[in-house]
Amino acid sequence: MANVLEQSKKSNSDQPSRREAEGRGRPLSRIRNIGIMAHIDAGKTTTTERMLFYSGRVHKIGEVDYGTATMDWMIQEQERGITITSAATTLFWRDHQVNIIDTPGHVDFTVEVERSLRVLDGAVGVFCGVAGVQPQSETVWRQAQKYRVPCLVFINKLDRKGADFERAIADIRAKLVAPVVPLQIPWGSEENYRGVIDLLDMRAVAFDDESMGAQMDVGDIPPERTADAERARARLIEAVAEVDERILEIYLENPDVPTGELRAGLRRASLARKLVPVLCGSALKNKGIQPLLDAVVDYLPAPPDVAAIQGYHPKTEEREERKADDFEPMSAMVFKIATDAYIGRLHFVRVYSGILQKGKNVYNPRTRKRERISRIVRLHANHREELEALYSGEIGGLVGLKDVTTGDTLCVENQPVLLERIVFPEPVISMAIEPRTQADKEALGDALSALSEEDPTFKVRVDEDTGQTIISGMGELHLEILKDRMFREFKVNARAGKPMVWYRETIRRPAGGAHRFQREFGGAMQYGHVVLEITPRERGAANQIEFDVSPGLVPAEFRDAIREGVEDGLATGILAHYPIVDVQVRIVGGSSNPDYDSEAAFRTAAVMALREAVGAAEPVLLEPVMDLEILTPEEHLGDVLGDLNSRRGNVREVKTAAGTRIIHADVPLAELFGYATALRSLTRGRATHTMQPRLFEVVPESIQHSILQH
């Protein structure tokens, strides 16, 4: 490997731009790192399965409905027909290496989408041609925009009754405010859906049923669709000309822009996130996938097309950046940890710069420790392929790392960089769990430790009052899956209680608090004195801690101890030990005694001063309120609305689409336990629903009283 690097340095020494080692399998320009994202049941995993089949990565199409999907390899995924954990794979198309992460669509597992988009260069948003933009579609789209990820849109299920391509496009423009531009229009609709009409090459493409869509029949556009295709192509050219100067120049001379120029302009516009190309098809019926793979190669970025990753030096805190270059100092991010029954912990990693080599040491700036890379694998769902190295721009797995968690940076020790960590949401639901026998206690502890390392939204704590172990997560399904994994994978024999809402605490008005800690421990006096003020902030504004005190009153070296004390107090609350949120804490005074000052004393004083201030500031409980979307037949509308009213629901709107009523409502999470069963009973199994966290609101006083008493 060293010889290869030296040869490559010499051969690339005269190149001012990206340099590439000879050992890499594909040039950087031929790498695509993409995610498949969508609302639950929009067809993400089915689309990914077809991509694998047509690229030759697998030789048999897996089906989600039959539990045979390659990417849904966990037994819990196969039983439920949903994606729970993001699965990674690599396929090859037109001599390009496409690294794909298939992400979950259920809101309980949205963290999987968050951490995947953090390390990906592009994304494919899959939308249902019948339902259009659904709640989780909006969530994942916002996540992609947050990380400035260029996207493609694939409108799926156009063979279904009620599918409407134009309505889906309008829905995306209205709800996502996305600059979408169709590159295709459908050929046929519903049960007569045949294929696509390509607006760049102006061809009709049908997909052969006998070869399961592998054979494509390309021909002239049917006469009845010619006028529609010409109008759509004209709109496509105009859309690109509006955002690309080169295409505008050509367009002003000749409105019929050559296909090659138009494709190049589309790529520039897509990479700049000025346009979002739209394709269409039916993944389940094997139609439209090959053109989608072409679009991934043509319009989504290679690693050199995206901005250099930003970070800072862990010691000097100066800004640092790393670009996709094999001879930059190595930098990589661990974005996911999985527990494998055969190889132990597997760390998913994205290499941003340099080369991550087997047998070499890497440096973790968080722990300030070295880690040795013992094994590197290429990922294909739950299968592994051994590698000698991962090059800049690539995604793979590492085996054998010890003290590495999700979001950690791996780099070279002599040129360290700390990349921005991934921020994860706090859990909203919890349950108690306990071992059945004393012998099961250690097994339960090991399982909880392993699962919390895998999933940053899974929290474990011990209740101070009862001594119970409390596990917390993002929803009922999240905790159900984790509990199921404990029993099956880790062979834990334990009892679990009923799910409980994970409340928050906040305050209604400003107040102050002070505490002087002066005690003798082990024959030595310890002293600390803190005065602080607490003020409510807007809902969702998070906590803020400020120091407005002179070093003469509180020495600067004790500020960290005071901050830690305040954070400890905020984490536990005073009403029912729930975290305190949306407050500002200002340290405004205190005193010191140079002979007896200690960090422990100031930390304790800060905790006690905060508790005094919160107690005087009218503390209240906050409860999570869910954004609930229900699709129900007209005849059951009254029953569903009446049930929502009994659950303290606030109905925001009721719409009609494709003969179905769509209800949007805000409902407290505490009122939604078992809602899926209740809704099935009310509507004879004909209604469906989805929910996602919307906001936190003050619990009504009568209900708060019963919660605190319980």
Residue percentage of the chain with pLDDT more than 70: 90
CATH number assigned to the domain comprising residue 33: 3.40.50.300
Do 285 and 142 share a structural domain? yes
pLDDT at 109: 61
**359 and 235 in a common domain:** no
Asked if residue 341 belongs to a domain, the reply is yes
Please report whether residue 107 resides in a domain.
yes
Q: What is the pLDDT of residues 237-268, one digit of tens each?
A: 999 999 999 999 999 998 889 999 999 999 99
Q: List the CATH number of the domain containing 653.
A: 3.30.70.240
Please name every residue paired with 387 in a beta bridge, in sequence order, or none if there are none: 376
Specify the pLDDT at position 80: 44
Q: Is the pLDDT of residue 12 over 50?
A: no
Q: Which of 96, 18, 11 lies closest to 305 in space, CA to CA?
A: 18
- Tokens at 442, concatenated: 């250690």
Q: Looking at 588, 612, 636, which one is the last position of a domain? A: 612
Measured CA to CA, the distance from residue 406 to residue 422 in angstroms comes to 8
Do 269 and 328 fall within a single domain?
A: no
pLDDT of residue 677: 81
User: Both 108 and 183 in a single domain?
Assistant: yes
Condensed to tens digits (0 to 9), the pLDDT of residues 152-194 reads 999 999 999 989 999 999 999 998 999 999 999 999 988 899 9
The whole-number pLDDT of residue 65 equals 43
Q: 229 pLDDT exceeds 80?
A: yes
At 707 the pLDDT is 78
Please check whether residues 290 and 169 belong to one and the same domain.
yes
What's the pLDDT score for residue 384?
76
140 shares its domain with 281? yes
The full DSSP string for 616-630 is HS-EEEEEEEEEEEE
Q: How far apart are CA 477 and CA 6, in angstroms?
A: 52
- CATH code for position 387: 2.40.30.10
- Do 169 and 264 reside in the same domain of the chain? yes
Q: Average pLDDT, stretch 548-559?
A: 91
Of 261, 352, 264, residue with least CA distance to 306: 352
Label residue 418 by pLDDT band (50, 70, 90): very high
Tell me, yes or no, whether 144 and 292 share the same domain.
Answer: yes
Tell whether 359 is covered by a domain.
Answer: yes
At residue 705, what is the residue type? H
Do 369 and 331 belong to one domain? Answer: yes
How many domains does one find in the chain? Answer: 5
- End-to-end alpha carbon distance in the chain: 64
Cα 654 to Cα 629: distance, rounded to the nearest angstrom: 10
| pLDDT attached to residue 710 | 65
Burial of 468 from C-beta contacts in 10 A (0-12 / 13-18 / 19+):
middle
Look at residue 625 in the predicted model and tell me its pLDDT. 92
What digits encode the pLDDT tens for the residues 100-131?
A: 887 765 555 666 777 788 889 999 999 999 98
Same domain, 578 and 641: no
pLDDT score recorded for residue 219: 94
CATH number of the domain bearing residue 524: 3.30.230.10
Same domain, 312 and 285: no
Number of helices and strands in the chain (H, E):
17, 38
Strands (E), 233-301: 276-280
Separation CA 131–CA 135 (nearest Å): 10
Tell me what pLDDT residue 78 has.
46
Give the residue from 286, 305, 324 where a domain finishes: 305
Residue 615: predicted pLDDT? 95
Given pLDDT bands bounded at 50, 70 and 90, which one contains residue 546? Answer: very high
Let me know whether 585 and 559 are in one domain. Answer: yes
Rounded CA Rg of the chain:
28
Tokens 């919307």 belong to which residue? 694
Say how far residue 153 (Cα) sits from the centre of its chain: 18
Identify whether 566 is part of a domain: yes
pTM above 0.85, yes or no: no
Whether 381 has a pLDDT exceeding 70, the answer reads no
Domain, as residue range, for 447: 429-502
- Beta strand residue intervals within 4-50, DSSP E: 31-38
Average pLDDT for residues 29-33, to the nearest whole number?
94
Which of 475, 502, 529 is where one domain is finished? 502
Q: Mind listing the pLDDT tens digit for each residue in 75-102?
A: 544 444 444 455 678 889 999 999 988 7
- Looking at residue 83, its pLDDT comes to 43
Closest CA to 29 of 39, 44, 43, 19: 19
pLDDT per residue as tens digits for the range 674-707: 887 888 889 887 787 877 778 899 999 888 888 7
Domain annotation covers residue 19 = no
